[in-house]
Amino acid sequence: MSDTINALKDFELQDLYKLLESLEYRSKYYHIDEVFTDEGKFSRANYAKHVQFFDAGADHQIRALIAGNRSGKTYSGFSEATYHCCKLYKHWWKGRKFDHPPVIWICGKTAQNVRDYLQPKLLGRGEPGTGLIPKERIKDITLRSKPSGSVDKITVYWGGDKDNYQGVSEIIFKFYDQGVEAFESGEADLIILDEECPLDIFGECVIRAMVPTKGTKPGSIVMTFTPKKGLTPTVLHILPDGQFPDNNVTPAGIYVQHISMDEVPHLDKETIETVMQQTPMYLRDAVRHGIPSIGSGRIFTASEDMIMYDPEVTKIGFEWPRAFAFDYGQTRSAAIWAAKDPVSKVVYIYAEQEFAYATLPTIAWGLKAKGNWIPGVGDCYQLLGDDRIQVLDQLVEMDVNIYPIGQKNTEASIAKAETLLNTGQVRISKALVKLWSEYRRYSRDEAGRIIKNTSCRTDFIDCFRYLLWAFEDIADTYKEPREEQENASRQEGNRYSWI
């Protein structure tokens, strides 16, 4: 190598030095060129879901990247902000493009949080220009009086090059702890909401983006967060019933991308497992997979990874003991079915059914359809006095093999279910959408009371408790039909004996 350099002529050496200086400059001040590259560790092929999220901006005004921690969600949002504020659209870019210098809001939890974690990603630590926004593109930086070092606004050269810029864009920083009032004025072409924001602030941002600074097309809103607070009003606004849409688009037209820590190459398995060991059980699904957690008030803490099974892989044996649980309501009733593997001793929750405004004959037909020989336990405590037993008696008369739950002990049944879940003795089919929805929301308020309301139903999770509480007492295997007299004797003489 030294002989080759020594053989170069003076003008060739000068050209080489200039090239090396240029490469050093771009490496230091053009960090935006090192992400979502054509090849290498940070190539677009390795971050396909992130690129899909960018692409969706061409057709969807509101997008949400709901992901596990350290999965690149903030970097994705800020990379997009950089492409727009500088007009540095790459050859592969299929997302939205602005034809004018945009006004961009970067929003975070607090001024200190934005200063310490968000600003450095855009500006760099220490010298401005060592972050995602190239140094030569930064026109001016306006600081706030408090906290020290907090940036209020960045003006950025947009389009062209350093000899002929086409305009100047603005990046304005806002904080959720300022309250919704701080978001009630002004217009923005792009709003980046980093980490989950209160629903009223989200609503105000939608209004601010409806009227663009130029043109007629509304501004874009990008949300990037890990749902550690659980099924909050904001999360439920984006994910109705807490479920990710199959085609990435919600009924309201919001594009949602879901990314797990396991899907990004910059996190190896050892790192992920180390993070999980240091993460409280109730937060692990949120931190790792971006699945909404209920937070410290969550009742069942078992990770979904541990208790979910694929019914296409695990088949329920015909000879396995089975049972069901039923919860009656005057407008909505629920039932779930379970079977126990006689070898592993694991109970598999394999079916669910909802009865909305259904008559008792309809309910009876639905309960018997999965096997009239399967015994069940039922609760009718929404009714008063004798009406409770009368409903079950009517179901029995319709040949439903069901027992009353008797005196309910909610805390004892919760404790038993939690023990079975955390010791791997219960698995729930991933196909049971309604049970999973309630499982994720099942929580207590600050006073320790179980939360029950129209947005936090417990019909299926109550069935879950009943079934695990009574399964060993009532579960049965398939037998040939019994004589009518024997069956009647059991129904009338022994129906309440196990309670």
Each residue's pLDDT tens digit, 448-472: 678 877 667 889 999 999 999 999 9
Give the tens place of pLDDT for each residue, 361-383: 999 999 999 999 999 998 865 44
| Mean pLDDT along residues 272-284 | 86
Q: What percent of the chain has pLDDT over 70?
A: 86
Write out the chain in H/E/C secondary structure. CHHHHHCCCHHHHHHHHHHHHHHHHHHHHCHHHHCCECCCCCEHHHHHHHHHHHHHHHCCCEEEEEECCCCCHHHHHHHHHHHHHHCCCCCCCCCCCCCCCCEEEEEECCHHHHHHHHHHHHHCCCCCCCCCCCHHHEEEEEECCCCCCCEEEEEEEECCCCCCCCEEEEEEEEEHHHCHHHHCCCCCCEEEEECCCCHHHHHHHHHHHHCCCCCCCCCEEEEEECCCCCCCHHHHHHCHHHCCCCCCECCCCCEEEEECHHHCCCCCHHHHHHHHHCCCHHHHHHHHHCCCCCHHHECCCCCHHHHEECCCCCCCCCCCCEEEEEECCCCEEEEEEEEECCCCCCEEEEEEEEEECCCHHHHHHHHHHCCCCCCEEEECCCCCCHHHHHHHHHHHHCCCCEEECCCCCHHHHHHHHHHHHHCCCEEEECCCHHHHHHHHHCEECCCCCECCECCECCHHHHHHHHHHHHHHHHCECCCCCCCHHHHHHHHHHCCCCCC
For residue 21, what are its two tokens?
């200086």
Bridge partner residues of 151 (DSSP): 143
Q: Would you state the pLDDT for residue 437?
A: 87
CA 127 to each of CA 59, 121, 124: distance values in angstroms, whole numbers, following the listed order: 37, 12, 6
Q: Would you state the pLDDT for residue 407?
A: 59
pLDDT band at 205, cuts 50/70/90?
A: very high
Q: How many CB atoms are located within 10 Å of the residue 10 CB?
A: 7
| Mean pLDDT along residues 44-67 | 96
Position of tokens 């053989």?
7
pLDDT band at 25, cuts 50/70/90?
A: low
Q: Tell me, what amino acid is at 465? A: R
CA 450 to each of CA 300, 442, 445: distance values in angstroms, whole numbers, following the listed order: 12, 7, 6
Q: Would you state the pLDDT for residue 162?
A: 79
**CB of 402 closer than 8 Å to CB of 442:** no
**CB of 118 closer than 8 Å to CB of 74:** yes
Q: Would you state the pLDDT for residue 53?
A: 97
For 145-182, give one letter per residue: b (16+ CB within 10 A) or e: eeeeebbeebbbbbbeeeeebeeebbbbbbbbeeebee
Edge-to-edge strand list for the sheet holding 103-108: 138-143, 151-158, 167-175, 103-108, 190-194, 220-225, 62-67, 255-259
| Mean pLDDT along residues 164-183 | 94
Which residue did the predictor score with more confidence, 429 or 485?
429
**CB of 8 closer than 8 Å to CB of 16:** yes
pLDDT band at 483, cuts 50/70/90?
A: very low
pLDDT band at 279, cuts 50/70/90?
A: confident
Cα 349 to its chain centre, rounded Å, is 23
| Mean pLDDT along residues 20-35 | 69
pTM of the entire structure?
A: 0.66
Q: Would you state the pLDDT for residue 26?
A: 58
Q: Would you state the pLDDT for residue 77?
A: 96
